[in-house]
Amino acid sequence: MRALLQAASRGEDLDLNGVTALLEARGAELAELVSLADAVRQAQVGDTVTYVVNRNINFTNVCVKSCRFCAFARGFRSEEGYRLTVAQVADRAREAADLGATEVCLQAGLAPELDGAAYVRLCAAVQAAAPGLSIHGFSPEELLYGARRSGWTVHSLLEELVAVGLSSIPGTSAEILVDEVRRQLAPGRLSTAEWCDVVRTAHGLGLPSSATLMYGHIETARHRAQHLLVLRSLQAETGGFTELVPLSFVWSEAPLWRQQLAPGVRAGPTQDETRALFAVSRLVLGAHIPHLQVSWVKEGLARAGELLRCGADDLGGTLMNESISVSAGAAHGQLATPRDLRGVARAVGRLPAERSTDYRVLRRFDTDADAEEQGLDDLDAISDADARFGSYAGLVAAARG
């Protein structure tokens, strides 16, 4: 362990066995690992903690797939399936811009009526409604689905989307980039090679993406290590990843857990696993992918602060309408206000800053006093968000009639 930590602190690229061993560190070794990751984070990106003011628009929960970890999707015959119209999506984008958002994130289920042209229409409507918003949209799974349904290549779909305003893509639908795990988590989901191909194509067109990793279900430390090395190698090729977002498995409503659909399903990661994953992600990827994001949706604001001390430097977005984790049983609400996120950063002695999707700092908040009120700061995230923005439960209830 000492040799591995020394190699990591010298910036050496560790191999699969080394990364796996670090992920399994516990006790005093884990404390040492975390402390090193925090120092490396400070050296690589300083003490600023960033967030983006954004809105999620999960425009339908209807999906032709049945990923076992997903509690959000409904089958196309389900009475609980909702679909936002193009006009409703555009209205949500306009409202987000009015509230100070700089980004809208478009992701949804794979509804049977969707195809590449439908994604292009959505993107164009958002751009027309709120031309200043950065459109971060469509997972690799959605891009592959849209392209296939239209008989297009992913490259040509992405070109069409860029022409109507798409500026980056979320690196979701990754879970664990090891096919033996993917087959158990979600039979029929895109493969590791397909995920990498879609992301490679996006990066080749100048579209940056995030990278994600979902953990705490059936995977082992070695699988997590394999995933990190897939990302490291793809980043060496394209340079297009902006950040890694580790996502802990939200288990309570997930079919994978409720119906025990795979052997050895766990109820999410332990706290030690989470701390080790963040620290190792910083050490293994920090020189290649500079930013490491904590998902407050998965972890809650209090734990998010703790993980900022384990190598992370970004708190993600305000989201306004988080539906996917909420439907899986996450209890942290669907909105974090900018003030909430600044508070998390300050509570651990760091400097909050609002960023753009591509990590340009837009506003620094060196003291509490310089934080001008933003529209979203007028809200109480927990009690006002559903009334102000509508909720996932409300959409499902309305669909049910």
List the structure tokens of 194: 């397909």
Which of 67, 207, 254, 315 is in the footprint of ligand SF4 by CB under 6 A?
67
Q: Among residue numbers 121 through 150, which ones bind ligand SF4 (CB under 6 A)? A: 141
Q: Is 214 in the site for ligand SF4 (CB under 6 A)?
A: no
Q: Which of 8, 19, 40, 73 binds ligand SF4 (CB under 6 A)?
A: 73
Pairwise CA distance, residues 181 & 49, whole Å:
33
Q: Which parts of 234-286 are beta strand (E)?
A: 241-248
Question: Is residue 107 within 8 Å of residue 146, measured between CB atoms?
Answer: no
State whether residue 52 is helix, strand or coil.
Answer: strand
Strand pairing report for 361-364 and 351-355: antiparallel
Q: How far from chain centre, in Å, is Cα 318?
A: 12
Q: CA 275 to CA 30: how far, in whole Å?
A: 8
Binding status of residue 109 toward ligand SF4 by CB under 6 A: yes
In the bound state with ligand SF4, the residue whose beta carbon lies nearer, of 17 and 259, is 259
CA neighbor of 174 nearest in space, from 139, 203, 219: 139
C-alpha–C-alpha distance, residues 274 and 229, integer Å: 18
Residue 225's contacts (CB-CB under 8 Å, 6 or more residues apart) are 16, 19, 20, 23, 280
- Per-residue contact flags (x/-) with ligand SF4 for residues 161 to 190, judged by CB under 6 A: -------------------------x----
Nearer to ligand SF4, 67 or 312 (CB): 67
Q: Count residues binding ligand SF4 (CB under 6 A).
A: 11
11 residue type, one letter: G
Contact 7/35 with Cβ under 8 angstroms? no
CB nearer to ligand SF4: pick between 188 and 204: 188
CA atoms within 13 A of residue 125's CA, in its CB half-sphere: 18
Among 63, 104, 123, 396, binds ligand SF4 (CB under 6 A): 63
> Is residue 70 part of the contact set for ligand SF4 (CB under 6 A)?
yes
Query: Smallest distance, Å, CB 74 to ligand SF4?
Result: 9
**Residue from 29, 35, 48, 65 in contact with ligand SF4 (CB under 6 A):** 65
Q: Which stretch binds ligand SF4 (CB under 6 A): 37-45, 61-69, 311-319, 356-364?
A: 61-69
Indicate the residue among 76 and 359 with the shorter CB distance to ligand SF4.
76
> Should residue 322 be labelled a site residue for ligand SF4 when binding is judged by CB under 6 A?
no
Contact region with ligand SF4 (CB under 6 A), list: 66-74, 122-130, 305-313, 326-334: 66-74
Q: Does 314 bind ligand SF4 (CB under 6 A)?
A: no
Query: How far apart are CB 145 and ligand SF4 at their closest, in Å?
Result: 8
* Burial of 257 from C-beta contacts in 10 A (0-12 / 13-18 / 19+): buried
Closest distance between ligand SF4 and the C-beta of residue 252, in Å?
16
**Closest separation in Å from C-beta 117 to ligand SF4:** 19
The whole-angstrom separation of Cα 232 and Cα 227 is 9
Residue numbers at the binding site for ligand SF4 (CB under 6 A): 63, 65-67, 70, 72-73, 109-110, 141, 186
